[in-house]
Amino acid sequence: MSTAGLPGRLVGSASVGPRVRPVDFGEFVRRHGGSGGLVVQPRMGFSDPAQMRAGLAAVKQAKATTVGTITLDSYTRVGELAAIDTAFREGIALNGYPIVSYDRSVTEGVLEGIRDDTFPVQVRHGSAVPNDIFKALAKAWINATEGGPVSYCLPYGRTPLAQSIRNWASCTQVFARLREIGVQPHLETFGGCMLGQLCPPSELVAISFLEALFFYQHGIRSISLSYAQQTNMEQDLEAVAALRRLCAELLPTQNWHVVIYAYMGVYPATDQGAYRLLGKAAELAVRSGSERIIVKTVAESRRIPTIAENVAALESASRVAAAVSPGAVLGDTQTYAEARALVEAVLSLDSDVGRALELAFKQGYLDIPYCVHPDNNGRARSYLDTDGKLRWAELGGLPLRHLVRAGRSRKVTSTGLLEDLSYVRTKFDREALTIAE
């Protein structure tokens, strides 16, 4: 792996110069996002330190208000560090940055002179066993990352949920100690995604909020809550309004913001379709009052995007956002009622949020449609209605029977499920081809 692009004093050296305390990631986003402004962020990660540094520099220089991302590789996420050593020896590029396997000085070389008060950096990973990752973050004074005990467990493997909750509790507590050296740690919940598709928004909102409470209970005071763009703009606007209302009502800290993920399911294959979908995500962010968006690129359906493709997506989302006005604040909605019912039911199980989450999945109070993890009940089902809204087909044990009359005109079949999963790609690619004609 090349270190040619790193500051010379850090290459191959364990000693470093004076360390600069990073800005509070959450406070930075809240200052620059919301009220019509939008902070844009890529999902960018490269295994080569010089390329990773070049990518961060390009994002910083983009024509937009940006924050940087270091996305970790899949081996680091699951703790297969021996495979990374093999890749190093054989000169094989990984699909992300192996932060645990690099010396602290290498990572500090990636960041030096780029991360500052105008450009914070977040690490994104995807691990249910993140202990080594958090240790590496603390060593390098990287104070922003994301995940959660549920959202980084159920979709990504077979780690028992109880183990993931214990792992995340201990890691969050360690991360919170950064405040002892004057560094404000920030955590972002990934719960607003949960497989990226076909989960009705109320449950996405509930899990995102519950993970935020979990972080707060274990010492984090700077928090962001995610929501992934789904299949219907009006339903998405309801969902983000519900999430923001729950935070205003029940989240003890004031240092919070909402981040929108551009669609996490099957992405359009055409460049025009991809940009149209990203534009709708940027519109959702501004109309809902969200402060930050994580973009996707035209390459999502084909390969890992280049630095230039990441910058193009950032600038495109920023241009769309600048032309959109914030919308009206929504009041009582079906999505809020369902999300609030789920949150209250889970919190009634135990005063410890982690224990409450574990019990909720055991009892079916939380149940992710089509998730095959052993700790998910798998009784709840959803479908796309003719208007593109996600609805409950079967509730299982979800405590929503007083609010939802589940059911649909046709049974959920494998063919219907595949059609629903491809709905967004088909819709936006068709629109793009129609415009091209």
CATH of the domain at 298: 3.20.20.240
- On whether residue 401 sits in a domain, the answer given is no
Give 282's strand partners.
none
Classify residue 324 by its DSSP letter. Answer: -
Domain count, the chain: 1
| CA–CA distance, 172 with 165 (Å, rounded to integer) | 10
Give the three-state DSSP class for 261: strand
- On whether residue 345 sits in a domain, the answer given is no
Give the three-state DSSP class for 369: coil
What is residue 303's predicted lDDT score, i.e. its pLDDT? 78
CB atoms within 10 A of CB 366: 28
| CA–CA distance, 362 with 142 (Å, rounded to integer) | 35
What is residue 288's predicted lDDT score, i.e. its pLDDT? 94
Q: Residue 282 contacts by C-beta under 8 Å, 6 or more apart in sequence? A: 38, 293, 316, 317, 318, 320, 321, 324
What is residue 267's predicted lDDT score, i.e. its pLDDT? 80
| CA–CA distance, 33 with 148 (Å, rounded to integer) | 23
pLDDT 10s digits, 93-136: 999 999 999 999 999 999 999 999 999 999 999 889 999 999 99
Nearest to 327 by CA among 244, 396, 252, 401: 244
Scored b (16 or more CB within 10 A) or e, 231-242 reads bbbebbbbbbbb
Low-confidence ranges of the chain (pLDDT < 70): 1-19, 196-197, 406-414, 416-417, 419, 423-424, 427-429, 431-433, 435-437
What is residue 15's predicted lDDT score, i.e. its pLDDT? 41
Give the strand pairing for 381-384 and 390-394.
antiparallel
Q: Which helix or strand (DSSP H or E) is residue 337 part of?
A: helix 334-347
Nearest to 229 by CA among 257, 256, 191, 265: 265
The CB-side HSE value for 263 (13 A sphere, CA atoms) comes to 31
- On whether residue 357 sits in a domain, the answer given is no
- On whether residue 399 sits in a domain, the answer given is no
- On whether residue 35 sits in a domain, the answer given is yes
- On whether residue 341 sits in a domain, the answer given is no
- On whether residue 349 sits in a domain, the answer given is no
The DSSP-derived string for 409-429 is: SS---HHHHHHHHTHHHHHHH
Q: Contacts from 365-369 at CB under 8 Å and sequence distance 24+? A: 365/397, 365/398, 365/399, 366/150, 366/203, 366/206, 366/207, 366/342, 366/398, 367/396, 367/397, 367/398, 368/154, 368/194, 368/195, 368/199, 368/203, 369/198, 369/199, 369/200
95 is in which domain, residue-wise?
Answer: 8-14+24-322
Helix axes 334-347, 353-363, angle to 10 degrees: 110
- On whether residue 244 sits in a domain, the answer given is yes
Extended strands (E) in 33-112: 39-41, 68-71
Classify residue 333 by its DSSP letter. Answer: -
Classify residue 396 by its DSSP letter. Answer: T
Chain centroid to Cα 216, Å, comes to 18
Residue listed under structure tokens 């084909």:
302
CB atoms within 10 A of CB 411: 9
